[in-house]
Amino acid sequence: MKLFRTTVGRFVEQDGHFYRIEKLTWDALLAHEDLEGCLEAVILGEAPTSEFQTSQLLAPIDRQEVWAAGVTYYRSRGARMEESKDAGGGNFYDRVYSAERPELFFKSTASRTVGAGGKVKIRADAHWSVPEPELTLVVSPRGRIIGYTIGNDMSSRDIEGENPLYLPQAKVYNGSCALGPGILVTSSPLPQSTEILLEIVRTGRIAFAGSVPLTELKREPKVLVEYLFRENSFPNGCFLMTGTGIVPPSTFTLASGDTVRITIEPIGTLENEVA
Ligand code: DO4
Ligand code: MG
């Protein structure tokens, strides 16, 4: 079952049919501890609608905060040690990769987040920018994983590489986050065979493509959530990006006009142009 937020309202998709959700707001839905059960009850006996259009999709976020985990894949650890070695930051990434406590950072709010078809941004004061394709957890106010979406943790590698203390500037700016296309609503963990795929298209050609299986994610999603919820409350629920395992080579930087396409079956594909 999938949940979508659009310019004309909220929709549930089940078995290829779409149903409108009239009464519950987006925040009320994401605050539900049993979202799957709630949606099943909402669509029971309802007639499907043909009003759903992908061109009307919005990011699946309202008052939720977006947080992110870092250095959860070996590839991210290596790339960051390399980019920060002149600044003496390399050791920190190695240490956080093996530490018991994960790296968790504040990533975005609804105003800085775009949905499928929206434009992500690269900072004007950065010269080395990459997308980070990340499985993103949808978490209820009590810290239950109630679904999954796809996230793009846009990052300015030169800014983070100059000094790890610049991380918030490298990560949090207008258009630095994409989420979507919708939410796969399930309380079951995704199969370990799940793959994250990234394609970057430039002038009609694939400029970079990569993939990573979920088996390479070093930390368990529920443990990341447990750390996030320590001494922190999320009355509207929240999103937690689980880190990137795909990093383009150091010679690659995003350019305006590129298309970033991230696919995680069974969630779908999140596609965004770079502004
Ligand atoms: O440590 C800095 C950020 C790491 C990150 O965003 C990632 O590994 O995905
Ligand atoms: Mg990331």
119, pLDDT greater than 80 = yes
β-sheet with 268-274: strand ranges across: 119-120, 268-274, 259-264, 195-202, 205-213
Q: What share of the chain is helix, strand, coil (3-state, %, to 5)?
A: 25, 35, 40
Give the pLDDT confidence of 71-86 residue by residue, as tens digits.
999 888 888 888 888 8
183, pLDDT greater than 90 = yes
Phi and psi angles of residue 193, each rounded to the nearest 5 degrees, phi first: -75, -5
87, pLDDT greater than 90 = no
The string of DSSP codes covering the chain is -EEEEETTEEEEEETTEEEEE-S--HHHHHT-TTHHHHHHHHHTTPPPBS---GGGB--S-SS-EEEEEES-SHHHHHHHHHHTGGGT-HHHHHHHHHSSSPEEEEEE-GGGEE-TTSEE---TT-S-EE--EEEEEEE-TTS-EEEEEEEEE-EEHHHHHH-GGGHHHHH-STT-EEEEEEEEE-SSPPPTT-EEEEEEEETTEEEEEEEEEGGG--S-HHHHHHHHTTT---TT-EEEE---S----TT----TT-EEEEEETTTEEEEEEE-
How much is the pLDDT for 90? 67
Contact 222, 99 (CB under 8 A): no
pLDDT band at 108 (very low <50, low <70, confident <90, very high): very high
Q: Which of 82, 155, 166 has most ligand 1 atoms within 8 Å of its beta carbon, as the pocket-test mutant?
A: 155
Q: Is the CB of 80 under 6 A from ligand 1?
A: yes
Average pLDDT, the chain: 96
Q: Is the CB of 133 under 6 A from ligand 1?
A: no
Q: Which of 153, 217, 242, 247 has most ligand 1 atoms within 8 Å of its beta carbon, as the pocket-test mutant?
A: 153
User: Cα(105) to centroid of ligand 1, in Å?
Assistant: 9
How much is the pLDDT for 155? 98
Please give the share of the chain, as a percent, with pLDDT higher than 90: 92
pTM score of the predicted model: 0.97
How much is the pLDDT for 75? 87
